[in-house]
Structure 1
């Protein structure tokens, strides 16, 4: 079995859990005799390629005319989409403000379909102000990769909404079955206040797929009920855990208190407010417990105020 896999992150340069999950999957697939070619928007050159062949999308020359690429209608849909504020899940508001100022000073503006057909596009591979632009152009490159690797893969695997259009384009070009992996839906990230453009991409990707993988039964139910994907096409595959080697030594504790830790992005999806509320209830009844939060995110200041 040969898999053409599209992701947005890959260790060791990761911003969140998506890259770690993809890395773990490639390890597991390799051990089961599956050959994986992993396409990433921006490769740094020192990725662990023992279990997969990593292709840098920024190095791919996409030689297209105006039609027949497999991504034409995607570009038409995406050409007017431009996110300037809420699609930066891995940096703080303060960091984003600095990032956006630099972006504005650079003089760049929203792009049109005409400048999407250049031979090569250098992806940042980040979650910045031109994220939607990169998502659309990634689909163009994906179609080219599928053409270049014709006959060298059996199935396409795309991770999260960022790569769904890429998966669709590759499927159109190659005719190979498409599996999309839903690690988190827009409802997980935003509650009921979903970004309609992201929702549309998620829905299009899952309806174009031959199989949808959800990381939990909760996610599977959301995919079926909120996105209208037929239940027989959605399967749950839980994330695995790879235990660290030589983890038998217990580290020396500096305090006698019981310690409860929150480690992750301090953002809606991770439920940091629930952690704080639970801590307050526990501390009213149980002495000698210390709650520690480690991370950053757009809810950082809100959580600090609530703790105070």
Structure 2
């Protein structure tokens, strides 16, 4: 079976959980065997792991004819693609796109991020999808998150092949209900055109059914999982101070993630004990507000902001922690608690998160209940028996949550839509 996947992020160049989940799922599907995956991303860097998927960059796909030599393509794009693929793609340009801003190879530039002209990039990505869908052989289309739904729809219209969309989040999650109508319409259009919809949790599934008015029979939950730790990550050793505990929030500092509840809970814990430091690791539009809030609560001397962490830095931070807290207001899934549990860090998560559906050996509180959150933090850092149980049982539990199992569920969905 051949799958054509559209994504927006792919490790090692990721900006959030979408890239991590796309990578883990694709790799897990490959482990199941009998699947050939072509993964399209806006901008390739050449250092992506290509052992289990063929990577095509939208930024390297010509949409306007340019008379260029093999050697020139090799010189410009050889770091990330075989020049022959460029010429194969060029032969399937389906319209005159010279009105678009293209480079000397007839390709549209993509930022590979979430720029101010994001809607323009989403539209350009769907144009490129038409060239790719006419060139690549595939049996099923899989679009990850709303940014790639228009590309998936175009590929379906071109090929007549079934479309599966993967809802990693909805705008109801990202905006705390203050939904952007343009984004909502893109999301719903993708859902209406899809032959089947995958959601990362039952929480998200209910949102799709109730807020987007989709037939429940068309929506299946496939929970996310976590990558096994590499030897490099396992070998990281971070010293712990016997005098001070470390409590960590790690993620985007945005209203969806509930950072203010973490700060308020920290202030309550620090009224009981001074032997603890709180860390907010990440970046986002609420960072300055959180710095100000920690100052207003008079806890700045016990509160630290690291900025954005990636790759190995994430695990260094987690291994330095005694407690991990994810107080998300609306979290479709939330992979970070699983990553914390992998390295033996007891975790506290909000009941409003998708991962709460599959995790047992964690403490769950309502995101708004800062007293319960503070009590949970205090209990873990104060009572060794609670810490030990959550650490050991959590690690044992998370090691059984594997991407291969999620991958097989997705492959089963592919078979279902292909047979229909």
* Residue 117 of structure 2 is aligned to residue 130 of structure 1: yes
- Cα distance per residue 1:35-80 (max 9 Å; x no partner): 110001111112110110000111212369xxxxxxxxxxxxxxxx
Structure 2 CA distance for aligned equivalents of residues 260 and 211 of structure 1 = 40
Of 120, 123, 132, which aligns to 1:145? 132
Alpha-carbon deviation of 1:251?
A: 3.2
Q: Please list, as runs of the form range in 1=range in 2, the aligned pairs for 1:102-121 lying within 5 A after superposition.
A: 115-116=99-100, 119-121=106-108
Structure 2 CA distance for aligned equivalents of residues 181 and 39 of structure 1 = 15
Equivalent residue number for residue 93 of structure 1: none
- Cα distance per residue 1:226-278 (max 9 Å; x no partner): 11111111111111012313437763213532321111111112221221222
Q: Please, what is the CA RMSD of the aligned residues?
A: 2.1
| 1:146–1:174 CA contact under 8 A, matched in 2 | yes
Structure 2 CA distance for aligned equivalents of residues 187 and 27 of structure 1 = 29
Alpha-carbon deviation of 1:168?
A: 0.4
Task: Determine which structure has more spread, i.e. the larger CA radius of gyration.
Answer: 2
Structure 2 CA distance for aligned equivalents of residues 216 and 276 of structure 1 = 27
Structure 2 CA distance for aligned equivalents of residues 132 and 169 of structure 1 = 16
* Residue 227 of structure 2 is aligned to residue 242 of structure 1: yes
SS at match of 2:179: coil
SS at match of 2:38: strand
| 1:143–1:169 CA contact under 8 A, matched in 2 | yes
| 1:212–1:233 CA contact under 8 A, matched in 2 | yes
SS at match of 1:197: helix
Alpha-carbon deviation of 1:114?
A: 8.0
Structure 2 CA distance for aligned equivalents of residues 10 and 196 of structure 1 = 27
Q: TM-score, normalised by structure 2?
A: 0.58
Equivalent residue number for residue 24 of structure 1: 24
SS at match of 2:197: strand
Listed as ranges, the gaps of 5+ residues in structure 1 are 65-112
SS at match of 1:244: coil
Q: Please list, as runs of the form range in 1=range in 2, the aligned pairs for 1:1-308 lying within 5 A after superposition.
A: 1-33=1-33, 34-62=35-63, 115-116=99-100, 119-149=106-136, 152-246=137-231, 247=234, 251-285=238-272, 288-308=275-295
Q: TM-score, normalised by structure 1?
A: 0.78
Listed as ranges, the gaps of 5+ residues in structure 2 are 66-96, 296-420
Change in Cα spacing, 1:245 to 1:44, as seen in structure 2 (3 Å) is: closer
SS at match of 2:39: strand
Structure 2 CA distance for aligned equivalents of residues 18 and 229 of structure 1 = 23
Structure 2 CA distance for aligned equivalents of residues 49 and 248 of structure 1 = 25
